[in-house]
Amino acid sequence: MPDPGRPDVVGFALTYGSGTAIERHTHPAHQLIHAISGAMRVVASGGIWFLPLGRALWIPAELDHEIRCDGEVGMRTAYLSRACPEVFADVRMIAVSPLLREVLVRLAEGDGGGLRPALLEILLQEIAGAGLPPLRLPYPADPRIAELVAHLNAAPADRTPLAQWARRLGFSERSLIRAVRAQTGMTFRDLRRYSRVMAAIERLCEGRPVTMVAYDVGFETPSAFAHAFRTVTGKTPRQFVAEARESF
Protein backbone atom coordinates (compact mmCIF):
# COMPACT_ATOMS: atom_id res chain seq x y z
CA MET A 1 0.00 0.00 0.00
CA PRO A 2 1.16 3.60 -0.54
CA ASP A 3 2.57 5.76 2.24
CA PRO A 4 -0.58 7.08 3.99
CA GLY A 5 1.17 10.18 5.29
CA ARG A 6 1.90 11.81 1.92
CA PRO A 7 0.62 11.77 -1.68
CA ASP A 8 1.79 8.41 -3.01
CA VAL A 9 0.80 5.64 -5.41
CA VAL A 10 1.68 1.99 -5.97
CA GLY A 11 0.55 -0.34 -8.75
CA PHE A 12 0.01 -4.06 -9.19
CA ALA A 13 -0.51 -6.47 -12.08
CA LEU A 14 -2.92 -9.31 -11.29
CA THR A 15 -4.47 -12.10 -13.36
CA TYR A 16 -7.74 -13.82 -12.51
CA GLY A 17 -9.42 -16.78 -14.15
CA SER A 18 -12.85 -16.53 -15.72
CA GLY A 19 -15.57 -16.56 -13.08
CA THR A 20 -13.27 -15.50 -10.24
CA ALA A 21 -15.16 -13.81 -7.42
CA ILE A 22 -13.30 -11.38 -5.16
CA GLU A 23 -15.56 -11.15 -2.13
CA ARG A 24 -16.64 -7.95 -0.42
CA HIS A 25 -13.69 -6.07 1.06
CA THR A 26 -12.23 -2.59 1.61
CA HIS A 27 -8.83 -0.89 1.23
CA PRO A 28 -7.25 1.83 3.39
CA ALA A 29 -6.21 3.60 0.16
CA HIS A 30 -8.13 4.82 -2.88
CA GLN A 31 -8.13 2.35 -5.77
CA LEU A 32 -8.30 2.62 -9.56
CA ILE A 33 -8.98 -0.71 -11.28
CA HIS A 34 -8.69 -1.46 -14.97
CA ALA A 35 -8.58 -4.62 -17.10
CA ILE A 36 -6.22 -4.93 -20.07
CA SER A 37 -8.05 -8.16 -20.95
CA GLY A 38 -11.44 -9.56 -20.00
CA ALA A 39 -14.18 -7.62 -18.24
CA MET A 40 -15.25 -7.10 -14.65
CA ARG A 41 -18.41 -6.39 -12.69
CA VAL A 42 -17.96 -4.45 -9.48
CA VAL A 43 -20.67 -4.29 -6.83
CA ALA A 44 -20.27 -1.02 -4.92
CA SER A 45 -22.30 1.96 -3.73
CA GLY A 46 -25.64 0.28 -4.30
CA GLY A 47 -24.95 -0.64 -7.91
CA ILE A 48 -23.39 -3.13 -10.30
CA TRP A 49 -20.69 -1.38 -12.36
CA PHE A 50 -19.66 -2.95 -15.67
CA LEU A 51 -16.01 -2.55 -16.65
CA PRO A 52 -15.19 -3.57 -20.22
CA LEU A 53 -11.93 -2.72 -21.98
CA GLY A 54 -11.20 0.98 -22.12
CA ARG A 55 -12.81 1.82 -18.79
CA ALA A 56 -11.55 1.99 -15.23
CA LEU A 57 -13.33 2.41 -11.92
CA TRP A 58 -12.36 4.77 -9.13
CA ILE A 59 -13.16 3.33 -5.69
CA PRO A 60 -12.66 5.63 -2.66
CA ALA A 61 -10.79 4.39 0.39
CA GLU A 62 -12.71 2.27 2.91
CA LEU A 63 -15.61 1.64 0.51
CA ASP A 64 -17.03 -1.90 0.52
CA HIS A 65 -16.87 -3.54 -2.93
CA GLU A 66 -16.71 -6.93 -4.60
CA ILE A 67 -15.55 -7.99 -8.06
CA ARG A 68 -16.65 -10.66 -10.55
CA CYS A 69 -14.49 -11.55 -13.57
CA ASP A 70 -15.97 -12.29 -16.99
CA GLY A 71 -13.36 -14.12 -19.00
CA GLU A 72 -9.74 -14.24 -17.88
CA VAL A 73 -8.98 -10.79 -16.51
CA GLY A 74 -5.60 -9.10 -16.66
CA MET A 75 -6.05 -6.42 -14.01
CA ARG A 76 -3.90 -3.34 -13.60
CA THR A 77 -4.68 -1.53 -10.39
CA ALA A 78 -3.27 1.51 -8.62
CA TYR A 79 -3.63 2.40 -4.96
CA LEU A 80 -3.44 6.10 -4.06
CA SER A 81 -2.90 7.34 -0.53
CA ARG A 82 -5.66 9.28 1.18
CA ALA A 83 -3.29 12.26 1.29
CA CYS A 84 -3.64 12.73 -2.48
CA PRO A 85 -5.34 16.05 -3.30
CA GLU A 86 -8.64 16.57 -5.11
CA VAL A 87 -9.70 12.96 -5.49
CA PHE A 88 -13.30 11.83 -5.91
CA ALA A 89 -15.32 11.01 -2.79
CA ASP A 90 -17.62 8.62 -4.68
CA VAL A 91 -17.35 5.80 -7.20
CA ARG A 92 -16.58 7.06 -10.71
CA MET A 93 -16.18 5.46 -14.11
CA ILE A 94 -13.09 6.70 -15.94
CA ALA A 95 -12.17 6.63 -19.64
CA VAL A 96 -8.79 4.97 -20.08
CA SER A 97 -6.71 6.99 -22.53
CA PRO A 98 -3.51 5.50 -23.99
CA LEU A 99 -1.55 7.68 -21.55
CA LEU A 100 -3.54 6.53 -18.51
CA ARG A 101 -3.17 2.90 -19.56
CA GLU A 102 0.61 3.26 -19.88
CA VAL A 103 0.84 4.92 -16.46
CA LEU A 104 -1.08 2.03 -14.89
CA VAL A 105 1.12 -0.51 -16.67
CA ARG A 106 4.31 1.30 -15.63
CA LEU A 107 3.19 1.47 -12.01
CA ALA A 108 2.41 -2.25 -12.09
CA GLU A 109 5.89 -2.98 -13.44
CA GLY A 110 7.67 -0.86 -10.81
CA ASP A 111 8.39 2.82 -10.35
CA GLY A 112 11.41 2.89 -12.67
CA GLY A 113 13.78 4.36 -10.13
CA GLY A 114 11.83 7.16 -8.52
CA LEU A 115 9.22 7.98 -11.16
CA ARG A 116 6.28 7.50 -8.80
CA PRO A 117 5.75 11.22 -7.99
CA ALA A 118 5.63 12.08 -11.70
CA LEU A 119 3.39 9.12 -12.52
CA LEU A 120 1.07 10.08 -9.66
CA GLU A 121 0.73 13.63 -11.00
CA ILE A 122 -0.14 12.35 -14.48
CA LEU A 123 -2.56 9.81 -13.00
CA LEU A 124 -4.42 12.45 -11.00
CA GLN A 125 -4.69 14.74 -14.03
CA GLU A 126 -6.00 11.92 -16.22
CA ILE A 127 -8.57 10.85 -13.61
CA ALA A 128 -9.81 14.41 -13.11
CA GLY A 129 -10.53 14.93 -16.81
CA ALA A 130 -11.73 11.49 -17.87
CA GLY A 131 -15.12 10.94 -16.25
CA LEU A 132 -17.71 8.92 -18.17
CA PRO A 133 -21.43 8.18 -17.81
CA PRO A 134 -21.52 4.97 -15.76
CA LEU A 135 -22.33 1.53 -17.11
CA ARG A 136 -24.22 0.73 -13.95
CA LEU A 137 -27.29 -1.14 -12.77
CA PRO A 138 -28.82 -0.30 -9.38
CA TYR A 139 -28.40 -3.10 -6.86
CA PRO A 140 -31.86 -3.56 -5.32
CA ALA A 141 -32.37 -3.68 -1.58
CA ASP A 142 -35.42 -5.96 -1.98
CA PRO A 143 -33.99 -9.52 -2.22
CA ARG A 144 -36.69 -10.56 -4.68
CA ILE A 145 -35.86 -7.76 -7.11
CA ALA A 146 -32.16 -8.46 -6.52
CA GLU A 147 -32.86 -12.06 -7.58
CA LEU A 148 -34.48 -10.79 -10.76
CA VAL A 149 -31.57 -8.47 -11.55
CA ALA A 150 -29.02 -11.22 -10.86
CA HIS A 151 -30.87 -13.61 -13.19
CA LEU A 152 -31.09 -11.07 -16.00
CA ASN A 153 -27.37 -10.47 -15.68
CA ALA A 154 -26.51 -14.16 -15.65
CA ALA A 155 -28.94 -15.21 -18.40
CA PRO A 156 -29.59 -12.16 -20.62
CA ALA A 157 -31.21 -14.23 -23.39
CA ASP A 158 -33.90 -15.60 -21.05
CA ARG A 159 -37.33 -14.48 -22.32
CA THR A 160 -39.34 -15.31 -19.20
CA PRO A 161 -42.31 -12.89 -19.31
CA LEU A 162 -43.25 -10.43 -16.59
CA ALA A 163 -46.30 -12.48 -15.53
CA GLN A 164 -44.18 -15.56 -14.89
CA TRP A 165 -41.64 -13.54 -12.94
CA ALA A 166 -44.44 -12.11 -10.82
CA ARG A 167 -45.64 -15.61 -9.91
CA ARG A 168 -42.10 -16.81 -9.23
CA LEU A 169 -41.29 -13.91 -6.91
CA GLY A 170 -44.64 -13.71 -5.15
CA PHE A 171 -45.96 -10.48 -6.68
CA SER A 172 -48.98 -9.53 -8.68
CA GLU A 173 -47.98 -8.17 -12.08
CA ARG A 174 -48.81 -4.60 -11.06
CA SER A 175 -46.93 -4.94 -7.79
CA LEU A 176 -43.85 -6.28 -9.59
CA ILE A 177 -43.96 -3.39 -12.07
CA ARG A 178 -44.06 -0.92 -9.18
CA ALA A 179 -41.34 -2.73 -7.23
CA VAL A 180 -38.95 -2.87 -10.21
CA ARG A 181 -39.48 0.84 -10.83
CA ALA A 182 -38.97 1.72 -7.16
CA GLN A 183 -35.85 -0.44 -6.75
CA THR A 184 -34.08 0.25 -10.05
CA GLY A 185 -35.63 3.40 -11.53
CA MET A 186 -36.45 1.39 -14.67
CA THR A 187 -39.36 -0.46 -16.18
CA PHE A 188 -39.08 -4.24 -16.45
CA ARG A 189 -38.56 -3.87 -20.19
CA ASP A 190 -35.81 -1.29 -19.75
CA LEU A 191 -34.12 -3.40 -17.06
CA ARG A 192 -34.01 -6.41 -19.37
CA ARG A 193 -32.73 -4.31 -22.27
CA TYR A 194 -30.02 -2.69 -20.14
CA SER A 195 -28.91 -6.08 -18.80
CA ARG A 196 -28.66 -7.46 -22.32
CA VAL A 197 -26.60 -4.50 -23.52
CA MET A 198 -24.23 -4.81 -20.56
CA ALA A 199 -23.76 -8.51 -21.31
CA ALA A 200 -23.23 -7.63 -24.98
CA ILE A 201 -20.48 -5.13 -24.15
CA GLU A 202 -18.51 -7.81 -22.33
CA ARG A 203 -18.79 -10.19 -25.30
CA LEU A 204 -17.97 -7.52 -27.87
CA CYS A 205 -14.82 -6.56 -26.00
CA GLU A 206 -13.76 -10.21 -26.14
CA GLY A 207 -13.79 -9.90 -29.93
CA ARG A 208 -17.00 -11.76 -30.73
CA PRO A 209 -18.87 -10.74 -33.92
CA VAL A 210 -21.68 -8.22 -33.51
CA THR A 211 -24.35 -10.44 -35.09
CA MET A 212 -23.42 -13.43 -32.93
CA VAL A 213 -23.51 -11.28 -29.79
CA ALA A 214 -26.93 -9.87 -30.71
CA TYR A 215 -28.47 -13.33 -30.75
CA ASP A 216 -26.44 -14.60 -27.76
CA VAL A 217 -27.88 -11.94 -25.45
CA GLY A 218 -31.49 -12.38 -26.57
CA PHE A 219 -32.21 -9.89 -29.36
CA GLU A 220 -34.33 -11.19 -32.23
CA THR A 221 -32.47 -9.22 -34.92
CA PRO A 222 -29.15 -7.37 -35.23
CA SER A 223 -31.05 -4.16 -36.01
CA ALA A 224 -33.02 -4.45 -32.74
CA PHE A 225 -29.73 -4.99 -30.94
CA ALA A 226 -28.12 -1.94 -32.58
CA HIS A 227 -31.11 0.24 -31.64
CA ALA A 228 -31.05 -0.92 -28.01
CA PHE A 229 -27.28 -0.53 -27.80
CA ARG A 230 -27.42 3.04 -29.08
CA THR A 231 -30.28 3.85 -26.68
CA VAL A 232 -28.23 2.69 -23.69
CA THR A 233 -24.71 3.84 -24.65
CA GLY A 234 -25.28 6.56 -27.26
CA LYS A 235 -23.10 4.63 -29.73
CA THR A 236 -23.39 1.73 -32.15
CA PRO A 237 -21.76 -1.54 -31.06
CA ARG A 238 -18.90 -1.07 -33.53
CA GLN A 239 -18.28 2.52 -32.43
CA PHE A 240 -18.20 1.50 -28.78
CA VAL A 241 -15.70 -1.32 -29.36
CA ALA A 242 -13.51 0.84 -31.61
CA GLU A 243 -13.25 3.51 -28.92
CA ALA A 244 -12.53 0.91 -26.22
CA ARG A 245 -9.71 -0.56 -28.27
CA GLU A 246 -8.12 2.78 -29.16
CA SER A 247 -6.25 2.65 -25.87
CA PHE A 248 -4.60 -0.67 -26.76
Last residue of a domain, one of 93, 128, 163: 128
Residues 218 and 157 in one domain: yes
Give the pLDDT confidence score for residue 247 in this predicted structure. 54
Using 50, 70 and 90 to split pLDDT, how confident is the model at 111? low
Per-residue pLDDT at 211 exceeds 90? yes
Give the separation between CA 199 and CA 220, rounded to whole angstroms: 15
Residue 2 domain flag? no
- The reply to whether 78 and 119 lie within a common domain is yes
Which domain-ending residue is among 87, 105, 128?
A: 128
Query: Is the pTM higher than 0.75?
Result: yes
pLDDT attached to residue 27: 95
Q: How confident is the model at residue 240 (pLDDT cuts 50, 70, 90)?
A: confident
Q: State the amino acid at position 6 in one-letter form.
A: R
Q: Considering the chain, what is the average pLDDT of its residues? A: 89
CATH of the domain at 89: 2.60.120.280
Mean predicted confidence (pLDDT) in 239-243: 81
φ/ψ of residue 206, rounded to 5: -85, -5
What DSSP state is assigned to residue 65?
Answer: E
Q: Which residue segment(s) compose the domain that 34 sits in?
A: 9-128
**Same domain, residue pair 235 and 147:** yes
The percentage of residues in the chain with a pLDDT greater than 90, rounded to a whole number, is: 57
Spatial separation of the C-alpha atoms in residues 111 and 171, rounded to whole Å? 56
